[in-house]
Amino acid sequence: MTFSDFFERIGNLDWLAVVVGALVFMVLGAIWYGPLFGKAWSKATGQPAMSLTKVPPANQLVGGLIVAFVASAAVNYFGALDDVEHSLVLALLLGVIVIGSFAFSHVVWEKRKFGLFLLEVAFTFVAIAVLSYVQGLMA
């Protein structure tokens, strides 16, 4: 694959699916770090727990939207996967093996809590699986 192939493929992304995927990512994050695991995340980070009724500060909201958009575009780059098995495999490869291995460096070098690492990698796995499946349904 050359650089021109890469940019041609970026131009051929399903941008509606990318936007929908980013919104799905944000909703999943709000639920994951709110009612599901907000207390555990808060305890591990020392940050106040997220709330579904309170809008985060603008810089965090914009940063979250950027991360969600980039993650959604990356998932879309690998193709629409409209069956659960392929979505789970993509989530395992990208979310756990690739992103998880990089995230583990925070445990090693920054002495982050292992429980926080597991919580974040689990979210990444679930988010990528759901994103790829939703985008596949839109194809």
Q: Mean pLDDT, consecutive 10-residue segments, the chain of 139 residues? A: 81 92 94 92 85 80 94 87 85 90 90 91 94 90
Give domain limits for the chain.
3-138
Q: How far is CA 41 from CA 83, 113, 116, 117, 120, in A?
A: 31, 10, 7, 10, 9
Helix (H, G, I), strand (E, B) or coil at 2: coil
Going from the C-alpha of 28 to that of each of 8, 15, 21, the distances in angstroms are 30, 20, 10
How much is the pLDDT for 72? 94
- Look at residue 128 in the predicted model and tell me its pLDDT: 93
pLDDT of res. 80 = 67
The structure's pTM equals 0.86
